[in-house]
Chains A and B, each alone.
Chain A
Amino acid sequence: DQQVKQNSPSLSVQEGRISILNCDYTNSMFDYFLWYKKYPAEGPTFLISISSIKDKNEDGRFTVFLNKSAKHLSLHIVPSQPGDSAVYFCAAGLSGAGNMLTFGGGTRLMVKP
């Protein structure tokens, strides 16, 4: 049973436009959420996170939105750049659970010049 799901395996966006990556979770106990970015042949790198006490967190071009009632989070990238082309993973965790994270299946983002 996948507790964290990314239903879109891939997304293609034009440079300069907004990219919206979505993630759904089933465990209402999760209280923090993260997004990671992964290039081929490299390890994932941390991008942005959000605590369940917030509904939005922004860092430059990246904004994460959390809708707890819908158990849904999204990552907005604006404006999208070709260098943003990568696989994006969302992850969820429980504070006090020793850094344990549950990851989604990933969404491959392609930003076309």
Chain B
Amino acid sequence: DVKVTQSSRYLVKRTGEKVFLECVQDMDHENMFWYRQDPGLGLRLIYFSYDVKMKEKGDIPEGYSVSREKKERFSLILESASTNQTSMYLCAIGTEHQTVRYEQYFGPGTRLTVT
């Protein structure tokens, strides 16, 4: 079974703080994704990465950055947290696109509250 872990389940931060959310996978998958989930808006893609040192912007990258120094680890960084970044953050990995299985596997999520 694919296992995706996220560093925290719940996090409370103050406005202006720098926030690090970490995602770790236990397989050798190349594709990793960060989403945020808000009621009625579904899952919106923030950033993704297809390999070490590679990163691509998703639909809502403003206010976020990412880091992928090792294949198994993909970090999401909120440079200066704001209250509108209060959300559920979900990390996902994808099986290699050469296979016929295209689903993404999600971590348990981090509920971030910015006060």
Contact = CB atoms under 8 A, between A and B. Distances in A.
Interface residues of B, number: 27
Interface string B1-42: 000100001000000000000000000000101010000111
Contact of B103 (A41, A42, A46): A46
A100 to B, nearest CB: 7
A15 B97 CA distance: 39
Contact of B90 (A34, A44, A95, A100): A44
A64 to B, nearest CB: 13
Interface in A61-113: 89, 93, 95-101, 103-106
Contacts of B103: 34, 46, 49
B104 A99 contact: yes
B102 A49 contact: yes
B43 A44 contact: yes
B47 interface: no
29 contacts: A4-B42, A6-B42, A36-B106, A41-B9, A43-B107, A43-B108, A43-B109, A44-B43, A45-B106, A46-B105, A49-B102, A95-B97, A95-B102, A96-B97, A98-B31, A98-B97, A99-B31, A99-B97, A99-B102, A99-B104, A100-B45, A101-B102, A103-B35, A103-B42, A103-B44, A104-B42, A105-B41, A105-B42, A106-B42
Interface of B: 4, 9, 31, 33, 35, 40-45, 48, 50, 90, 92, 94-95, 97, 102-109, 111
